[in-house]
Chains A and B, each alone.
Chain A
Amino acid sequence: MTPLVDLGPHVSFIVAAYAIAVAIVAGLIAWIVADHRAQLRILEDLERAGVTRRSAAREEI
Chain B
Amino acid sequence: MRLSELANPSRFNTLTERVLPWLVVATVLAFALGLYQALFVAPDDYQQGATVKIMFIHVPAAWLGMMGWALMSVSALGTLVWRHPLADVAMKTAAPIGAAFTLICLVTGALWGRPTWGTYWVWDARLTSVLILFLMYLGAIALWRTVEDPSRAARAAAVLTLVGAVNLPIIKFSVDWWNTLHQPASVLRLGGSTIYPTILMPLLIMAVAFTLLFVTLHLSAMRNELLRRRVRTLRMMRAAAANP
Tell me whether B227 and A5 are in contact (CB under 8 A).
Answer: no
Cβ of B157 under 8 Å from chain A? no
Looking at the assembled complex, report how far the CB atom of B211 sits from the nearest CB atom of chain A, in whole angstroms: 13
> How many chain A residues touch B (Cβ–Cβ < 8 Å)?
35
Tell me whether B217 and A39 are in contact (CB under 8 A).
Answer: no
Majority secondary structure, A binding face: helix
Contacts of B14 in A (CB 8 A): none
Cβ of A61 under 8 Å from chain B? no
Looking at the assembled complex, report how far the CB atom of A48 sits from the nearest CB atom of chain B, in whole angstroms: 12
A14 to B50 Cα, complex, angstroms: 8
A40 to B237 Cα, complex, angstroms: 18
Contacts of B126 in A (CB 8 A): none
Cβ of A11 under 8 Å from chain B? yes
Cβ of B54 under 8 Å from chain A? yes
Tell me whether B49 and A10 are in contact (CB under 8 A).
Answer: yes
Tell me whether B234 and A18 are in contact (CB under 8 A).
Answer: no
A61 to B221 Cα, complex, angstroms: 32
Contacts of B237 in A (CB 8 A): 51, 53
Tell me whether B100 and A17 are in contact (CB under 8 A).
Answer: no
Looking at the assembled complex, report how far the CB atom of B159 sits from the nearest CB atom of chain A, in whole angstroms: 26
Contacts of A51 in B (CB 8 A): 234-235, 237-238, 241
Within residues 10 to 49 of chain A, which ones have a CB less than 8 A from any CB in chain B? Answer: 10-11, 13-14, 16-18, 20-21, 24-25, 27-29, 31-33, 35-36, 39-40, 42-43, 46-47, 49
Contact among B61, B104, B217, B231 with A42 in the assembled complex (CB-CB below 8 Å)? B231
A39 to B221 Cα, complex, angstroms: 11
Looking at the assembled complex, report how far the CB atom of B158 sits from the nearest CB atom of chain A, in whole angstroms: 23
Instruction: Mark B202-244 against chain A: 1 for CB-CB distance below 8 A, else 0.
Output: 0000000000010001001101100110110111011001000
User: Could you write out 10 A-B pairs with CB less than 8 Å apart?
Assistant: A4-B40, A5-B40, A7-B53, A8-B49, A18-B57, A21-B57, A24-B104, A28-B96, A35-B224, A43-B231
Q: With A21-B104, A32-B220, A49-B238 given, can you name 11 additional A-B contacts, CB distance below 8 Å?
A: A4-B40, A10-B51, A13-B111, A13-B114, A17-B57, A18-B57, A21-B107, A32-B224, A35-B221, A36-B220, A42-B231
B contacts, CB < 8 Å to A: 39-40, 44, 49-51, 53-54, 57-58, 61, 96-97, 100, 103-104, 107-108, 111-112, 114-115, 213, 217, 220-221, 223-224, 227-228, 230-231, 233-235, 237-238, 241
For the complex of A and B, 7 pairs with smallest distance between CB atoms: A39-B227, A10-B115, A8-B50, A17-B108, A17-B111, A7-B50, A17-B54
